[in-house]
Amino acid sequence: MDQVRNARVAAISMATGGALAKLLRAHGRAEHAENIEVALDEVAAIIAATVGEGNLTAAMDWVTTNIWDHDALYVGSVTRH
């Protein structure tokens, strides 16, 4: 169970890193986005070696299904004052 939990925590962080890379790329900072993507590849290799590639793959699927694309978590736009 600890490996599953650890893999899910890592997968959440990795998904957030991917979102940051997309934001950077969308704002003309492709070089910085590429650096994040390379770092995420390295993180994935380290995590997979620690918890197992299957556990990491399952965790990434879990994040996509339960967190990242979950409509109930969508807050909408936020106005800053």
pLDDT at 77 over 70: no
Residue 13: which of 39, 35, 34, 52 has the closest Cα?
39
Q: What are phi and psi of 44, to 5 degrees?
A: -60, -40
State mean pLDDT over 48-68: 91
Range of the domain at 40: 2-64
**Could you give the number of structural domains in the chain?**
1
Structure tokens at 68: 């990242």
Give 4-44 pLDDT, tens digit per residue: 999 999 999 999 999 999 999 999 999 999 999 999 999 99
Tell me, yes or no, whether 33 lies in a domain.
yes
Structure confidence at residue 81 (pLDDT) = 39
pLDDT of residue 74: 47
> What count of other Cβ atoms lies within 10 Å of the Cβ of residue 64?
13
pTM exceeds 0.85 for this model:
no
Classify residue 69: in a domain, yes or no: no
